[in-house]
Structure 1
Amino acid sequence: MTKFSDLKLSPKVLKAIDEAGYESPTPIQAGAIPPALEGRDVLGIAQTGTGKTASFTLPMISALARGRARARMPRSLVLCPTRELAAQVAENFDVYAKHVKLTKALLIGGVSFKEQDQAIDRGVDVLIATPGRLLDHFERGKLLLTGVQIMVVDEADRMLDMGFIPDIEKIFSLTPFTRQTLFFSATMAPEIERITNTFLSNPERIEVARQATTSETITQELCMFKASRRDRAASEKRKLLRALIDREGEACTNAIIFCNRKTDVDITAKSLKKYGYNAAAIHGDLDQSKRMEVLDGFRAGTLQFLCASDVAARGLDIPNVSHVFNYDVPGHAEDYVHRIGRTGRAGRLGKAIMICEPRDDKNLDAVERLIEKEVPRIDNPLAKGKAEKPAKEGAADKSTGKAQTEDKPRRSRGRKSDSAKPEKVNADTATNTVEQKDAPVAQDKKPSRDKSSRDEKPARNRGRGGGRRDQSPVGMGDHMPDFIAKSFDERRTG
């Protein structure tokens, strides 16, 4: 087995590696370090989490150990797509260069220009920067790139996704033609291939794994989700996320939850905190100080769940991340490789679970085509409860008597049925007519006037129950109370 001592690194670098607890290099390190020490251009292709950072940091330190930096003219340049990745490279540099007197500067957004200018003015051996902030310093006249001996582009495919390729081409044109160039990436898009053909001179190509493969130490799962109603989709999806977290139990010591949009990152983090989960959000709109505070808490273990956008998919070298949850299927298939690469690092076991809605089918197909295998499906942990719910509701209805209510005939809101009491109504009417002929008529009741009023205006007595014009009203019969007759008299006399 190859050891770091076999790679011809400087004794001081080997001492720092030994103190860090490393003995054997990873495949990408064993393949990239020897040609880099020889001064050749290197094109390294490896999945995330395989040690690409040390692949260029260690030979850089060994090569720069001899020499002296000049003001505003860095001797080496490392370009990173995100602030987090740049800060991670700077931390690795501090670990491996602690026995070598080399200076460094970190140029990233969200930090004062003044402090960065002061570091550049003193002279730096290693300049670690994001493309945008580097060009800002150059255009202000604070930086010269004519002294760059080694140039590193880390996560080149992410540079392409974030639109940094024009900036990268401009930076290349500002550096000497004789520089040594080291390119590292997890995937190689055609545009990246074009740049490597343009700016790299006969590079040593090291491809330790098939492009866009996922680590074998990561268990991948996919949970299909379909909302009951469109307006409930967001809340039900967050409920499913909590159910998936609870399903993992104590095995989920910490996790990164990736969302496609920054708004979803904030909403998901707030929802988890509302339900008692120790969670926080990180994305590009946060201040750099806040982002570093959240990351430090996650590394220290005081924060268990980190809700992140793709800005955190690169450069988060946190070895003990047990789980990665893809709250959304990524829009770019390559991002899936980088997201789940936050777990299962350095040979450790990890688990990645993704939630997929029907609208994500195309993105899911792209992911599975890229990794050349199907992501195993798992049952929705909420589906069992939904299946049992109708049966429980039926039992509840039966116990409360609702089922009996449904058996009763519905009350008609229109006309009453003519066949309900036709014979009884006619019999009552006939009986009352005979009784009125035999009985004396009271003067105050005045039935003849009341009868004539009904005969003249039959439509007024139909109401809701009047089904026929020639049928007497049901209920009162031919008898009318005194107060109604009295009101008629007053209306007629008035």
Structure 2
Amino acid sequence: MTKFSDLKLSPKVLKAVDEAGYESPTPIQAGAIPPALEGRDVLGIAQTGTGKTASFTLPMISALARGRARARMPRSLVLCPTRELAAQVAENFDIYAKHVKLTKALLIGGVSFKEQDQLIDRGVDVLIATPGRLLDHFERGKLLLTGVQIMVVDEADRMLDMGFIPDIERIFGLTPFTRQTLFFSATMAPEIERITNTFLSNPERIEVARQATTSETITQELCMFKASRRDRAASEKRKLLRALIDREGDKCTNAIIFCNRKTDVDICAKSLSKYGYDAAPIHGDLDQSKRMEVLDGFRAGTLRFLCASDVAARGLDIPNVSHVFNYDVPGHAEDYVHRIGRTGRAGREGKAIMICEPRDDKNLEAVERLIEQEIPRVENPVSNEKPQRSRAKSDEQRTEKPARPARKRKSVDEVTEKPARKRKSDDAQDIKTEAPVKEQPKPEAKPERNDRNKGRGRGGNRRDTNKVVGMGDHLPEFIAKSFEERRAG
């Protein structure tokens, strides 16, 4: 069995590893550390939770133990996709380099530029950063990357998902061509493979497990969910989540609940807190201080449930997570591997439960196709279907209500006394002819069209024959009179 002492690490690094309680390296560590110490490029592919961080931190500390950094020119660079992962890498450096005099700086968003500039100006041996903040410092003229000897890209597939690949390519171009590159990822997408072929020189490829495999120590379950009504889907889904947590009982010491959207993260955390579950949210819109406070509480055990987006799915090392609940089926199948990898770490047992709605069928098929196994289905502990009312009433229900009184049937005589309906027949027509008919006044004969218009003016108004032709009734009488006198004369 391989031990850390067999990997040719420096004595001070071995002492720190021994004090941390580690004796035997993981397969990815045993495969990546020797070629990294030789100065070769390394391409490491392993599922999450296998100790990839120590695979590059330990050889970097051994290689950087000799030498001194200059101002604004770091000797090594570690790129991480998220702030939390970058902070975790910085913590690992503190643990493994406590007997070695190395300086480090952490460049992440949500922190003042002034404090970070002061660290860079003094000169750092190890620079740990997210791509965006690193380029911000470079564009401000506060940082030079020409002195980088070792460059590490951690969680490269997550970089691809977050759209950092153009930034990674730009950063590669700013570093010296003679640098040593250590490239680590859980999956190898075609875009990632293109970058490795471009920027890595004859790398040592270490693949300790099939790409995108789940750990055998994790028990996986799938619970199908269908809402009774569309407007009740969200509340019923949260009710199902609480029922699944209660079903686990004391086995669920703590858990991470993953949601696809940040709004669902907040709503889910508030809902759990409302029903007495100790929960808090973490996602990219929170302040960095709040995010670190929540993570510290979850690591310390003061917080039981962590509702998170995929910002917490990659690389976070929280060792004693008993359960992972996928409130939503992830849109990218690879995210499922990283999410459930938060539990069952370092050989421990864990459990992952996912809720699936009918609209998630395509995403579920992609997940099962990627991991090459069918996730076992479990029974829904909450039934959303209401019992249908039976149309046929039972005998007991019938006897409860008093019977209606029977209708009194009429006798034959009463029926015969009722006058029959009048039907239109020849006799009825004869009766109508015998009835006296009132004489109606004859309508006046309508005049013919020429007669009706006769005597009308231009507008159809009647005019007197004595009036002047061509003049209307609206003329004053004295004007018409004067013309009549002339015509009479």
Q: TM-score range by the shorter chain?
A: 0.7 to 0.9
Quote how far apart the aligned CAs of 1:316 are: 1.8
From the superposition, tell whether residues 411 and 153 of structure 1 become closer, same or farther in structure 2 (CA, over 3 Å).
Answer: closer
Over residues 219-267 of structure 1, what are the superposed CA-to-partner deviations in whole Å (9 max), with x where a residue is unaligned? Answer: 0000000000100000000000000000000000000000000000000
Deviates more, 1:309-318 or 1:454-463: 454-463
| Counterpart in the other structure of 2:389 | 411
- Evaluate the alpha carbon distance shift between residue 248 and residue 452 of structure 1 in structure 2; reply closer, same or farther with a 3 A threshold: same
In structure 2, relative to structure 1, the CA distance for the partners of 1:242 and 1:101 (3 Å cut) is same
Conserved 8 A contact 1:441-1:447: no
Q: Deviations along 1:89-131, whole A, 9 cap, x unmatched?
A: 0000000000000000000000000000000000000000000
Cα pair 2:228 2:385 within 8 Å, conserved: no
Separation in 1 of the partners of 2:391 and 2:291?
A: 65
Indicate conservation of the 8 Å contact 1:418/1:467, yes or no: no
**1:483 is matched with which residue: 478, 481, 484?**
478
Task: Provide, for residues 335-388 of structure 1, a one-character-per-residue CA deviation record: whole Å limited to 9, x for no partner.
Answer: 000000000001100000000000000000000011011111101011xxxxxx
Distance 1:38 1:355, change over 3 A: same
Whole-angstrom distance in 1 between the partners of 2:104 and 2:385: 84
Is the CA contact 1:50–1:345 (under 8 Å) kept in the aligned structure 2?
Answer: yes
Instruction: Name the SS for the 2:182 alignment partner.
Output: strand
TM-score (norm 1): 0.78
Deviation at 1:315, TM superposition (A): 2.8
The structure-2 alpha-carbon separation of the partners of 1:138 and 1:379, relative to structure 1 and needing over 3 Å to count, comes to: same
Deviations 1:405-459 (A, max 9, x none): 9999999999x999999999xxxxxxxxxxxxxxx99999999999999999999
Structure whose residues are more often helix by fraction: 1
Structure 1 residue runs of 4+, over 6 Å off? 405-414, 416-424, 440-470, 474-494
Deviations 1:453-490 (A, max 9, x none): 999999999999999999xxx99999999999999999
1:298–1:442 Cα change, 3 Å: closer
SS of 1:78's equivalent in the other structure is: strand
Counterpart Cα distance in 1 of 2:349 and 2:400: 86
Q: Secondary structure at the match of 1:148?
A: coil
Provide the C-alpha distance between the structure 2 equivalents of 1:163 and 1:260, rounded to a whole number of angstroms.
17
Equivalent residues in 2 for 1:127-142 (5 A)?
127-142=127-142
Shift in CA distance, 36/413, structure 1 to aligned 2, threshold 3 Å = closer
Using the TM superposition, give the Cα deviation of residue 145 of structure 1 relative to its aligned residue in structure 2, in angstroms: 0.1
Displacement after TM superposition at 1:21 (Å)? 0.3
Taking the aligned partners of 1:257 and 1:273, their CA distance within structure 2 comes to: 13
Distance 1:165 1:453, change over 3 A: same
Structure 1 residues not aligned, in runs of 5+: 383-404, 425-439
Call closer, same or farther: CA 1:469–1:224 in 2, change over 3 Å: farther
Q: CA distance change for structure 1 residues 485 and 196 in 2, over 3 Å: closer, same or farther?
A: farther
CA contact (8 A) 1:324 1:343 kept: yes
Q: Separation in 1 of the partners of 2:226 and 2:147?
A: 57
- Give the secondary-structure state (helix, strand or coil) at the position aligned to 1:49: coil
The one-character-per-residue Cα deviations of 1:277-313 (angstroms, maximum 9, x if unpaired) are 0000000000000000100100110100000000010
Q: In 2, distance between residues paired with 1:10 and 1:307?
A: 41
Residue 395 (structure 1) aligns with: none
User: Aligned partners of 2:124 and 2:227: how far apart in 1?
Assistant: 55
Between the aligned partners of 1:442 and 1:479, the Cα distance in structure 2 is 79
Residue 399 of structure 2: which of 422, 425, 431 is its match?
Answer: 422
Identity %: 90
| TM-score (normalised: structure 2) | 0.79
User: What is the Cα-based RMSD across aligned positions, in Å?
Assistant: 15.9
CA distance 1:138–1:225, change in 2 (3 Å): same
The offset of 1:80, in angstroms, is: 0.2
Seen in structure 2, the aligned counterparts of structure 1 residues 14 and 379 have a Cα distance that, compared at 3 Å, is same
**Which residue is 2:461 aligned to?**
467
The 1:379/1:125 distance shift into structure 2, 3 A limit, reads: same
Distance 2:341 2:163 in 1: 22
Q: 2-side partners of 1:411 and 1:38: how far apart?
A: 76
Number of matched residues? Answer: 453
Distance 1:68 1:477 in 2: 118
1:353 maps to what in 2? 353
Structure-2 change in CA distance of 1:447 and 1:341 (3 Å) = closer
Equivalents in 1 of 2:190, 2:129: separation in Å?
25
Q: Secondary structure of 2:256's match?
A: strand
Distance 2:320 2:333 in 1: 25
Distance in 2 between residues matched to 1:121 and 1:419, nearest whole Å: 89
Q: CA deviation at 1:314?
A: 1.4
Tell me whether 287-296 or 449-458 shows the greater mean CA deviation.
449-458
SS of aligned partner of 2:424: helix
